[in-house]
Structure 1
Amino acid sequence: MTATLRQQIGCWVHERWRTELVLRVPGFPWLDLCNRHESLTKTDSGRARACNWSDTSPLTVCRLFPATGARLLRHCLTQWPIRFAEPPQASFGAPDLSLIIAFRGTARLPQLRCCLASLWGQFGVSLEIILVEQSWDSLLDATQVPGVRLVHARSTSPDMPFNKSWALNVGARLARSDILLFHDADMLAPHGYAQAVLDLIARGFAGARLPRLIFYLDAPSTVSVQTRQSLDHIGFVSDIQSNGRIPLTMTKQAYWDIGGHDESFYGWGGEDDEILQRAETLRLYPGAFLPFIHLWHPSQPEKHAGLTERESFIRQKMEVPPTQRMSSLLQYRPGDLAGPWCRTQSA
């Protein structure tokens, strides 16, 4: 997209000058950046920011000036660097954290491996990564993704759509830690991410949603990062999102107290918003303060199949109060809602 002169001038008047202050003048935190019609609240004595709007939203300044988006990424990484590492040697003690990723297929293996390298770069924390392959046939083995606990959550029929919620519940049941992190396979995390989670749980919070900004890379930048395992060559970032839903962390007790992930969601989308509403009934950390990077990948071919029906399902689901949804989910055991797929299809 090429911005018109009018758009550029409007952005300078409302957003670009604030961004330049952040990038050029010490003492102006990047946490305060948002669009002209949005507002933020400082939380946790100024450490974090809460977004006072409901949906995710892209920063206009970076959409119109992608080179500024790359500058902002480099600025955030000076405070929260991303480090890539090899898998550590196997540990047989209980980990500090159990990080759970749902996955299907092999098309996104390069993104997954890069994501795992950033997670192995966490410091001062013992971490287990549970990779749950939710599919009919298992296509992964330990040589493709070393260092993780690889679990196959077999679909109940060959045509069953991806059920991320079911996969995450499977991982949560197998977790050896009392602290759960639900992470996406295409997301790079700063190396202080896991330690920040531990600190907040130690302070008595039942969970947290920590991404303040998510930097969405384009295809060439993503290939460069995956090939080099370096972020030094990124020149443009046009899509930077505020108020992201994932990653989400909770104690295991809190997770099951609210019913875990809702396994009635099939396909892609909706389950993250749904569980976040239920999580907000807990003592959730009030705000966010971390940058994350999202790696580009082609859209999943099945994602748009049945989109209208899925959107209607999500809308109807979200109209039910979170406490009522929670009570309903607590009547089921994990796996009960995902299991009927083959019976429904054959009826």
Structure 2
Amino acid sequence: MSESSLIPLGGLEFIVTYRGATQERRDNLRGVLRHLNRTYTDYTLYLIEADKAPTFHWSEIGDEKIRHVFVYDDGPFPKAKLCNLAVKMCSTETICFHDADMIANPYHFPLCVNAVRHGTASDALCPFLRVLNVNGELREQFIANGDYDLLKPYLGEAVPESMEVLYENTPGAIVLFKRAAYIRIGGYDPRFIGWGGEDDDLLTRAQRLGLRWHSVPNPDAALFHLHHDSTSRLEAVASAQRNRDTAAETRAISDEELAARTAELVKYFA
């Protein structure tokens, strides 16, 4: 897009947590950043990287909208902790958690931003329902320039033969939040370390505490996931039983226990 045709996001603050454990993941991040830069304007992106050493350097892109924060961490990826850290850095009323390998429809996304910012129906909003996996040459072409027009032909009811449905529905990937609502429920629980469970826990807590969390059930509002090392992802899923068990606890505990846990989590943001 030309500078005049970029879509303004009204100062939206993105939160992207990241670990460049493989070349595919490093490439995916660059594709996401290129897409956001060529599609939108008037936003700030907090890129929170946790690793033994950085695999992203701001000088690669030189985008003044990006705030790169590196946190040394040689353990399992601490997504929940990093998200909460970024929320404390944010200063606006609307935030967006955005995975480093996901692409939203640029038609629906700004509508969802405005719905959360100005509307009264949703405290949290996923600008999609299902997630389609992008692989092979199409993925490489998109990463090279971030042009959504490459992906647009694959929207619709039918799933293209060249793609698979990664998720029929998920509470994670890309989520817009009223910042005050996120803090009121305590944010992500930092007990979740490694892959899985943290989004389910947050959704359950949000619903039990009365937050209005919605998705956009429109085939054209699908997300595109940039494929990466599925072998390691499957291994991570298999090893995440502890996180899944912890998320299940949030559904089972009493209202009093939930209130006490939330009160402890909220203290981080004080």
**TM-score, structure 1 as length reference:** 0.61
Query: What is residue 192 of structure 1 aligned with on the other side?
Result: 107
Contact 1:218–1:296 (8 Å) recurs in 2: yes
Query: What is residue 217 of structure 1 aligned with on the other side?
Result: 134
1:242 matched to 2:172: no
The correspondence for 2:260, drawn from 301, 306, 327, is 327
Q: In 2, distance between residues paired with 1:179 and 1:242?
A: 26
Q: In 2, distance between residues paired with 1:315 and 1:259?
A: 19
1:151 matched to 2:69: yes
Counting only pairs closer than 5 Å after superposition, residues 176-325 of structure 1 correspond to structure 2 as: 176-201=91-116, 202-204=118-120, 205-227=122-144, 229-230=146-147, 231=150, 236-240=161-165, 241-245=167-171, 246-280=173-207, 281-285=210-214, 287-289=216-218, 290-299=221-230, 301=232, 304=235, 307-308=238-239, 310-321=240-251, 324-325=257-258
Distance of aligned partners of 1:293 and 1:211 in 2 relative to their CA distance in 1, 3 Å threshold: same
Distance of aligned partners of 1:326 and 1:173 in 2 relative to their CA distance in 1, 3 Å threshold: farther
Amino acid at match of 1:164: K
Counting only pairs closer than 5 Å after superposition, residues 14-53 of structure 1 correspond to structure 2 as: none
Query: What is residue 157 of structure 2 aligned with on the other side?
Result: none
Distance of aligned partners of 1:121 and 1:318 in 2 relative to their CA distance in 1, 3 Å threshold: farther
Q: In 1, distance between residues paired with 2:134 and 2:233?
A: 22
Which is richer in strand? 2
Contact 2:196–2:237 (8 Å) recurs in 1: no
Counting only pairs closer than 5 Å after superposition, residues 5-154 of structure 1 correspond to structure 2 as: 96-105=11-20, 107=23, 108-123=25-40, 126-147=42-63, 148-154=66-72
Distance of aligned partners of 1:303 and 1:268 in 2 relative to their CA distance in 1, 3 Å threshold: farther
Q: In 2, distance between residues paired with 1:243 and 1:302?
A: 18
Larger radius of gyration: 1
Distance of aligned partners of 1:100 and 1:228 in 2 relative to their CA distance in 1, 3 Å threshold: closer
Instruction: Give aligned-pair identity as a percent.
Output: 21
The C-alpha deviation readout for 1:54-99, integer Å capped at 9, x for no partner, is xxxxxxxxxxxxxxxxxxxxxxxxxxxxx799xx9xxxxx963111
Which is richer in helix? 2
Distance of aligned partners of 1:133 and 1:286 in 2 relative to their CA distance in 1, 3 Å threshold: closer
Q: In 2, distance between residues paired with 1:161 and 1:303?
A: 15
Runs of 4 or more off by more than 6 Å in structure 1?
A: 232-235
Contact 1:216–1:294 (8 Å) recurs in 2: yes
Deviates more, 1:230-239 or 1:111-120: 230-239
Unaligned segments of structure 1, at least 5 residues: 1-82, 89-93, 336-347
Amino acid at match of 2:60: Q
Distance of aligned partners of 1:121 and 1:197 in 2 relative to their CA distance in 1, 3 Å threshold: farther
Q: In 2, distance between residues paired with 1:193 and 1:175?
A: 23
RMSD, aligned α-carbons: 3.1
Contact 1:188–1:293 (8 Å) recurs in 2: yes
Q: In 2, distance between residues paired with 1:326 and 1:101?
A: 28
Unaligned segments of structure 2, at least 5 residues: 155-159
Contact 1:115–1:189 (8 Å) recurs in 2: no
Distance of aligned partners of 1:140 and 1:170 in 2 relative to their CA distance in 1, 3 Å threshold: same
Q: In 1, distance between residues paired with 2:34 and 2:103?
A: 8
Q: In 2, distance between residues paired with 1:114 and 1:227?
A: 7
Distance of aligned partners of 1:306 and 1:286 in 2 relative to their CA distance in 1, 3 Å threshold: closer
Contact 2:32–2:143 (8 Å) recurs in 1: no
